[in-house]
């Protein structure tokens, strides 16, 4: 309806936009990682035990509930959503969540919808993901040797992941490879991974193994400081420091010889908390404000208590007000215990 020229123009304010989520240290929360399942078709040795007990279905948020919660976060200033797990692509009907969340890309409320996957289901889903506005995927891959791959993942099939990578690139998705650096396991393969990834126009990020879950003593021995890996790589390559800050734990260099980007995620040797802009939601609706701390908030109860979002918004605000300044991962060598008892598949990697 348009007003005539003679009528006074009355400016009516629309509903006030909800204020963004800012923690007590002034960090705006703009990035939400959402684990949509604790299940996975792999059993990576540093991530899960072989006989993992999974959650009963009734404890999981439905896809509609996940969409509702994500939408609340988007309305409160989250600009980037990363879907993870467990393995996100093994959750039944997961494409419907991507489809519904893609409306926030369309409206401009969200800058990025992305996912972290082991790649096993990418051949099936890459085209659909691209259709829902996903532009980039992180694929976790620690080795290019099929036997080693089987050892690390226990159940994984490297050929299937390679088909997934082909499909992702064919669908136009930018791929970043995430590789956990493991002493005595794949440390001799880092250069091969680098040349391979950059040769295929994929970024590579190396991750220090973190003491999460009930780690076996050997896991502690597999810790490989990335400072050492970087020093070794610097003997062969020219690593030009990049200023690409994601608010996350990765620091990037450009490898002059390959032209590709290489990231280092060093939670054990580098404190990256000062710029942390993220929180993590589990598939049961628990919000972790810090990967390396136990404090968490239950969002499922307020979500299910009413159809309106007031209660859950209040619970989110209360949680963000408790976001800690930083984390402290320590491997307790005397007692062989990790600092954080939950597995990565629980928090969502
Ligand atoms: N299934 C998906 C995948 O493979 O990427 C998403 C979940 S997985 C838990 C996310 C990432 O966490 C993977 O790159 C995995 O290697 C990493 N991860 C799991 N446990 C870890 C640990 N203890 N230390 C370091 N990285 C870990």
- 35 CB less than 6 Å from ligand 1? no
- 83 CB less than 6 Å from ligand 1? no
End-to-end CA distance of the chain: 49
- 180 CB less than 6 Å from ligand 1? yes
Torsion sign across C-alpha atoms 168, 170, 171, 172: positive
- 132 CB less than 6 Å from ligand 1? no
pLDDT of residue 333: 42
More confident residue, 134 or 342: 134
- 347 CB less than 6 Å from ligand 1? no
pLDDT of residue 79: 98
Q: Which of 37, 38, 41, 47 to mutate to test the pocket of ligand 1 (most atoms within 8 A of CB)?
A: 47
Note whether 69 and 281 are within 8 A (CB): yes
Residue nearest to atom 17 of ligand 1 (CA): 349
User: pLDDT confidence of 230, banded at 50, 70, 90?
Assistant: very high
- 60 CB less than 6 Å from ligand 1? no
CA distance 136 to 112: 9
**Environment class of 102 (CB within 10 Å of its CB; exposed 0-12, middle 13-18, buried 19+):** middle
What residues contact 83, with CB distance under 8 A and at least 6 apart?
34, 36, 94, 97, 98, 113, 114, 115, 116
User: pLDDT confidence of 215, banded at 50, 70, 90?
Assistant: low
* 88 CA from centroid of ligand 1 (Å): 12
Q: Which ligand 1 atom sits closest to the C-alpha of 178?
A: 14
pLDDT of residue 9: 47
How many C-beta atoms lie closer than 10 Å to residue 10's C-beta? 6
| Residue (of 54, 53, 41) closest to 153 by Cα position | 41
Both tokens assigned to 97: 């969540």
The pLDDT of 341-349, averaged and rounded, is: 57
> What's CA 52's distance to the chain center, in Å?
21
* 17 CA from centroid of ligand 1 (Å): 36
Residue 342 pLDDT greater than 70, yes or no:
no
Residue 329 pLDDT greater than 60, yes or no:
no
CA distance 154 to 173: 27
Note whether 124 and 130 are within 8 A (CB): no
- 120 CB less than 6 Å from ligand 1? no
pLDDT of residue 6: 44
3-state SS class at 296: strand
* 140 CA from centroid of ligand 1 (Å): 7
The pLDDT of 160-179, averaged and rounded, is: 98
pLDDT of residue 275: 84
pLDDT of residue 17: 77
- 134 CB less than 6 Å from ligand 1? no
- 117 CB less than 6 Å from ligand 1? yes
The pTM score is: 0.90
Q: Which of 165, 180, 345 to mutate to test the pocket of ligand 1 (most atoms within 8 A of CB)?
A: 180
The pLDDT of 307-329, averaged and rounded, is: 91
What residues contact 206, with CB distance under 8 A and at least 6 apart?
179, 180, 181, 190, 226, 229, 262, 263, 264, 265
Residue nearest to atom 25 of ligand 1 (CA): 209
For 285-299, letters b (16+ CB in 10 Å) and e give bbbbbbbbbeebbeb
Phi-psi sector, 293: left (phi>0), alpha (psi -120 to 50), beta: beta
């Amino acid at each position: 309806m348009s007003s005539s020229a003679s009528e006074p123009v009355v400016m009516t304010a629309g509903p006030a936009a909800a204020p963004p989520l800012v923690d007590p240290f002034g960090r705006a929360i703009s990035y939400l990682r959402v684990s949509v399942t604790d299940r996975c078709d792999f059993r990576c040795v540093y991530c899960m035990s072989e006989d993992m007990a999974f959650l009963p279905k009734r404890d999981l948020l439905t896809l509609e509930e996940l969409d509702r919660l994500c939408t609340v976060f988007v309305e409160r200033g989250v600009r980037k959503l990363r879907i993870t797990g467990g393995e996100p692509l093994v959750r039944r009907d997961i494409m419907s969540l991507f489809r519904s969340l893609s409306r926030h890309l369309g409206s401009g409320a969200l800058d990025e919808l992305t996912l972290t996957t082991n790649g096993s289901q990418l051949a099936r889903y890459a085209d659909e993901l691209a259709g829902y506005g996903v532009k980039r995927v992180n694929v976790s891959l620690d080795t290019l040797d099929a036997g080693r791959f089987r050892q690390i993942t226990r159940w994984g099939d490297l050929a299937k992941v390679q088909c997934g990578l082909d499909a992702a690139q064919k669908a136009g998705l930018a791929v970043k490879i995430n590789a956990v650096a493991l002493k005595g396991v794949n440390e001799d393969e880092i250069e091969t991974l680098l040349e391979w990834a950059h040769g295929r126009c994929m970024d590579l990020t190396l991750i220090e193994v973190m003491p999460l879950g009930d780690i076996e003593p050997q896991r502690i021995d597999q810790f490989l400081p990335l400072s050492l890996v970087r020093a070794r790589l610097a003997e062969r390559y020219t690593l030009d420091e990049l200023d690409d800050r994601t608010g996350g734990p990765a620091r990037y260099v450009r490898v002059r010889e390959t032209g590709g980007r290489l990231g280092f995620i060093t939670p054990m040797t580098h404190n990256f908390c000062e710029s942390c802009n993220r929180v993590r939601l589990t598939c049961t609706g628990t919000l972790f404000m810090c990967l390396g701390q136990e404090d968490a908030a239950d969002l499922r109860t307020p979500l299910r208590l009413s159809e309106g979002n007031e209660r859950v918004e209040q619970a989110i605000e209360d949680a963000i007000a408790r976001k800690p300044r930083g984390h402290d991962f320590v491997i307790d060598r005397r007692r062989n215990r990790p600092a954080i008892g939950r597995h990565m598949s629980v928090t969502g990697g």
